[in-house]
């Protein structure tokens, strides 16, 4: 049987200890995406050939092994749980129902817009919803992540989830333009319970950014909003926290 739910390691473990990657490839076309590099796949094929890597039965068989585990399962790291093909396959929806059937909780990490709201009525206490915000500028988002939902749509998802009582979180990674990331914090703060803040990996241009200054400013603003946050290891090392830094409510 294919490995479906698995224990994370490395950078991924800073987000969640368990994960489920049920789609292969990603249609978002993000220029900064590291998944093709990590998976040793051709970037063009990774972005154009998107499909299910497992079936609902695979998910069910794997989930039985983790029955009753108190840790949250993240969907997903190397793809997006709300690929356009999800409208046809409903694999993310199936996964949610299966996880709940075995007493497990989940968290979503997506760059999708309205399609991600389809399953909000399935969330239970212990589940949470997260989105990635890289740019507030629609023009810059169009350039760097052409297949992803507009930033405004992702912010609306946070608002709807928050209004529905679903715990919300935002992944601020990669940080390509610190000012844009700060703008995302201000825009998302009213609807977001927790922020995870990282850097920009696998690109030499990242060396030009004042990471220490950015980290301190981000922490200052997040404290002003009384938000829980986690400064990831790659960013924390610039301000004396090589093991990362947590403050306030943590999600997932």
CA dihedral 90, 74, 68, 104 (to 10 degrees): -40
pLDDT at 37 exceeding the cut of 90: no
pLDDT category at 202 given cuts 50, 70, 90 is: confident
Q: What's the confidence (pLDDT) of residue 47?
A: 87
Task: Sketch the domain layout of the chain as residue ranges.
Answer: 5-247
pLDDT category at 48 given cuts 50, 70, 90 is: confident
Dig out the tokens for 232 from the structure: 């990831």
- H or E element in which residue 155 lies: helix 151-163
CA 212 from centre of chain: 23
157 with 116: CB under 8 angstroms?
A: yes
Q: Return the CATH fold of 5-247.
A: TIM Barrel (3.20.20)
Q: What's the confidence (pLDDT) of residue 3?
A: 67
pTM above 0.85, yes or no: yes
Q: Which of 118, 123, 62 is nearest to 89 (CA)?
A: 118
Q: How far apart are CA 130 and CA 40, in angstroms?
A: 26
Q: Which tens digit of pLDDT belongs to each residue from 62-94?
A: 999 999 899 999 999 889 999 999 999 999 999
22-36, 137-151, 207-221: range with lowest mean pLDDT: 22-36
Q: Please provide the distance, in angstroms rounded to a whole number, between the alpha carbons at the two ends of the chain.
A: 28
194 with 250: CB under 8 angstroms?
A: yes
**172 — alpha (psi -120 to 50), left (phi > 0) or beta?**
beta
197 with 182: CB under 8 angstroms?
A: no
């Amino acid at each position: 049987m294919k490995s479906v739910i698995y224990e994370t390691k490395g950078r991924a473990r800073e987000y969640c200890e368990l994960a489920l990657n049920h789609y292969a490839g990603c249609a978002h076309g993000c220029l900064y995406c590291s998944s093709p590099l990590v998976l040793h796949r051709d970037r063009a094929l990774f972005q154009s050939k998107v499909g299910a890597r497992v079936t609902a039965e695979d998910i069910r068989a794997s989930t039985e092994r983790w029955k009753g585990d108190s840790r949250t399962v993240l969907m997903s790291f190397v793809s997006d749980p709300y690929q356009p093909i999800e409208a046809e396959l409903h694999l993310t929806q199936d996964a949610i129902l299966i996880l709940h059937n075995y007493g497990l909780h989940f968290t979503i990490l997506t760059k999708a817009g309205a399609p991600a709201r389809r399953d909000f009525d399935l969330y239970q206490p212990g589940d949470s919803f997260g989105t990635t915000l890289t740019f507030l500028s629609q023009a810059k988002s169009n350039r760097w992540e052409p297949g992803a939902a507009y930033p405004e749509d992702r912010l609306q998802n946070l608002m709807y989830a928050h209004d529905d009582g679903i715990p919300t979180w935002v992944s601020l990674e990669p940080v390509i333009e610190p000012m844009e990331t700060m703008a995302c914090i201000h825009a998302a703060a009213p609807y977001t319970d927790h922020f995870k803040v990282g850097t920009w990996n696998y690109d030499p241009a990242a060396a030009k950014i004042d990471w220490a200054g950015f980290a301190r400013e981000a922490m200052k603003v997040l404290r002003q909003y009384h938000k829980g946050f986690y400064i990831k290891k790659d960013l924390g090392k610039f301000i004396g926290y090589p093991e990362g830094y947590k403050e306030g409510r943590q999600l997932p």
